[in-house]
Structure 1
Amino acid sequence: MNRNMALFFLIMFAIGTDSFIVSPLMPTLRESFGITVAQSGWFVSAYALGYAAFALIAGPLSDGWNRKRVLVYGLFAFGLFTLLCGFAAGFWQMVAFRFLAGVSAAFASPQIWAAISQLVKPQNVLKAMGIATAGLAASQMLGVPLGSYLAASGWHTPFFAIGAAAFVLAILAAILLPAMPASGSKNASIWGRYRSLMSGSAPKLSFIAYFLFQFGNFGAFSFMGTWLSDRFHLSVAGVGTVMLFLGLGNMIGSFWGSGFTARFGQRHAFAYGVIFISLLYLLLPFMPKLALVEAAYFLIFLALGMLFPLMMNALQRLSPTARGTISSLANSSMYFGTTLGSLTAGFLYSCSGAFMSVSLLAAVCFCLSLGLFSGSGAFSAVSPVLSHKKQTLKQ
């Protein structure tokens, strides 16, 4: 099982790195394709759009297929289209390949969370999800510097490297992972799977809670660099250094957060973590020194590294037959939360001219999320959906 966890870590690292690696390539890509700054933003947006648009479809479909095959084929497609990005001869070719890479990732990535719940013993699920989350955290920390290093020999090289790595990971997944046959009905429609999943109040409250959490999280994260530049006059390189600390904290929390959870229990660990980061966000605007801000951000992302596996585990427990659907819906909720949270935070920051409004938004969203998760029973010892069904049968 350890080799499977190592494989899941590497897959999440590769997919996450593909998202972050474009950032340092932007100036070179603009020059190579002769495009404007606004047009270059499509290299990021096309990937995100492809992922968000197809994640809601990929999840329900994968619940009716062999999950191992979906993961392997998704990784091969992801590797192919990422590799083709390195051969793109024009702007629209690059946009198309980035979009298709995002679509492929939408099929591959949710299978990791679903496979963990399907393959790992219940007592080890949270730890395994922490390891997968650490792969994303490592990509966040290393994606930009890795892209810069690989691009030293040309902008094509990072795409070739990630594409080749995806092929290797697909082969390893095909060899190492056991078959994971469909957990739900093969004939169920996409809408039917969502309707079955969302029956009852527990799933509705849980996904609204997850959306609100990501709304506040990414709303505050999106304007972290702007605030650090305005308040402490940091350069782009200075903000990048802070990002390294954030990624390190997030990775440490992902790896070792399960120990904290084991001590206090999932419900209390989640509540303590949410209250902790809410207080730190409220204190951030009043910290006079950059060193204090860096320490606070490190602790925030340390806690976030622990909280994300907790939420994913709680969502996965909503239904044992719709894990792919749950993973995809969670990812889509995150993307929509990121988009709307960034827009709202930008409006608040521009109107108030102070980061306090953004940090207050984050704290309020975190607390609302905590209340909704608590009300849903997502962190109870028994799955809230199964509990609801048992009560219905008794009646």
Structure 2
Amino acid sequence: MKLQGNVSLSVGWITLFLMGTDLFVVSPLLPFISEAYKVGSATTGWMVTVFAITYAFSAPFFGWISDKKGRRTFITFGLLLFAISNTLTVFAPSFLWLIVSRILAGLSVASITPLIYAIIGDIAPPNRRGTWLSIVVSGHLTALWAGAPFGTLLEHFLGWRSVFVVMAIIGAILVVVNFKTWKSIPKSNLTSNLLGGNLLRILGSVSVTTIWAISMYTLYVYLGAALYSENRFSSSEIALAVTFYGVGAVLGSLTSGQLTDKFGEKKISKATLIFLALILICLGVFFSSGDWIYFFLFIWALVGYAGFTSYQARLAVEYPKERGIVMAWNNTALYIGITIGSMIGGYAISNWGYPPLPYVCSVAAIVSFILSTQKVQETKKESAFSANIK
């Protein structure tokens, strides 16, 4: 049983590492793709945009149908489509076909990432669910500081198309590996009433993630530009700063799993949001203080992603029958938050410059905490109401 658990976690980690690499590696490759197809950088950026939009809109569908039909089939389908879409990216004869390939890639990742989270939540021992989820989340986050730089290095020696060749090959291998790894999960007793009050409760729950994402990405999207503007960082210093952030994110996710299993999902998810707000204020104060910025970026990511992982575990516990669709909506909420955060950051920079960004993020963290607390109180009221009926 222990061996089977280790195999499941390893396969989940590797699969999410590949999904994260596909997400994070495109941005540093955009200049080379732009040159290859002779289009402007703004136009090339649509590769990222169409991927995110497709993912955000299709993930809830795959989560819903996997709750009814089982998850293994859709994860396998997603990986097959992932291999095909990356192959199309390699051989795309025009920029239009390149965009089509990224739409298909977004569709494929939407049927893989949230369902891996859900299936791990399904099979994990109840007293280890936080740890198991934190391990697979760390696979996705490791791609931020390991997968994307490796892809960039591969481009340097073999060209940008080689990155997608490698991802297509690994995706094809994982089709077989995932199909053999995941046993059929019992179908949920979920009924068509999901579109009633329960869906509204789910949307209320995942709104915490949307505001959390604003607290993380309003600054992160513009981090390189902010470090250059306020600290005159060189490209190597910016890369080092991002590495500190990435390592903090992975360690935060892993640490959160242990703490969640020990103290409970609700306590850790709320505590991390409070600490996140305080750390962001400190980050704002010390943003232009030289080497201290590395430390605060590390702590920011450590606490921030500890909160994300603990909240994933909390949702898995609170919605056992709708785990697939809840994880899917949570990922959609994440992408919505990233989009809104980037818009807020752009507005703030245009009007006030870079220094206010950490404080804007801190306000978002406080709002996320308040929403999280409201959710807990609502659950308690529902439980008390149920008890009175009985």
TM class by smaller structure: over 0.9
Correspondences of 1:268-279 after superposition (within 5 Å) = 268-279=267-278
Q: Percent of counterpart pairs with the same letter?
A: 24
Give distance in 2, aligned partners of 1:59 and 1:184.
14
Checking the alignment, whether the CA contact within 8 Å between 1:60 and 1:193 is kept in structure 2 is no
Whether the 8 Å CA contact 2:130–2:261 is kept in 1: the answer is: no
Query: CA shift at 1:329, angstroms?
Result: 0.8
Q: 1:318 touches 1:384 (CA, 8 Å); kept in 2?
A: no
* 3-state SS in 2 of match to 1:234: coil
| TM-score, length basis structure 1 | 0.91
Moved more, 118-127 or 361-370: 361-370
What is the match of residue 300 of structure 2? 300
Contact persistence 2:256–2:310 (CA under 8 A): no
Secondary structure in 1 aligned to 2:294?
helix
Task: Between 158-167 and 280-289, report the one with greater CA deviation.
Answer: 280-289
User: 1:34 & 1:263 partners in 2: Cα distance?
Assistant: 54
- For 1:181 and 1:388, the matched residues in 2 are separated by 30
Residue 239 (structure 1) aligned with residue 238 (structure 2): yes
Structure 2 spans left out of the alignment, 5+ residues: none
Change (3 A) 1:126 1:105: same
Letter in 1 for 2:221: S
Where 2:68 maps in the other structure, the secondary structure is: coil
Match of 2:199 in 1: 198
* Letter of the 2:33 counterpart: L
Q: Supply the distance in 2 between the matched residues of 1:308 and 1:95 (Cα, whole angstroms).
A: 30
- Are residues 194 and 301 of structure 1, via their aligned partners in 2, closer, same or farther at CA, if it must alter by over 3 Å? farther
User: Which residue number in structure 2 is paired with residue 109 of structure 1?
Assistant: 113
- Residue 387 in structure 1 maps to residue 387 in structure 2: no
In structure 1, C-alpha distance between the alignment counterparts of 2:60 and 2:66, rounded to whole Å: 11
Q: Given the superposition, is the C-alpha separation of residues 13 and 385 from structure 1 closer, same or farther in structure 2, using an over 3 Å criterion? A: farther
Q: Which residue type is aligned with residue 172 of structure 2?
A: F
Runs of 4+ in 1 over 4 A off after TM superposition: 383-386
Counterpart of 2:82 in structure 1 is 78
Cα 1:388–1:100 shift into 2, 3 Å: farther
Alpha-carbon distance, 1:37 to partner: 1.2
The answer to whether 1:315 aligns with 2:315 is: yes
| Partner in structure 2 of residue 52 of structure 1 | 56
Query: Cα RMSD over matched residues?
Result: 2.2
Q: Distance in 1 between matches of 2:180 and 2:354?
A: 53
Structure 1 distance, partners of 2:251, 2:148, is 19
2:215 is equivalent to residue 216 of structure 1: yes
| Separation in 2, partners of 1:173, 1:262 | 27
Shift of 1:293: 0.8
**Any conservation in 1 of the 2:131–2:260 contact (CA below 8 Å)?**
no
Q: Does 1:169 align with 2:174?
A: yes
Per the alignment, residue 348 of structure 2 pairs with 348
TM-score of the superposed pair, with normalisation by structure 2: 0.92
Q: Map residues 1-395 of structure 1 onto 2, 5 A cutoff.
A: 1-151=5-155, 152-185=157-190, 188=191, 192-195=193-196, 197-198=198-199, 203-287=202-286, 288-356=288-356, 358-377=357-376, 387=383, 390-391=386-387, 393-394=389-390
Supply the distance in 2 between the matched residues of 1:272 and 1:329 (Cα, whole angstroms): 23
Give unmatched runs, 5+ long, in structure 1. none
Cα distance, 1:385 vs. partner? 9.7
Contact kept, 8 Å, 2:265 with 2:313, in 1: the verdict is no
Deviations along 1:231-266, one digit per CA (max 9) or x if unpaired, are: 111233432221111111111122232333455443
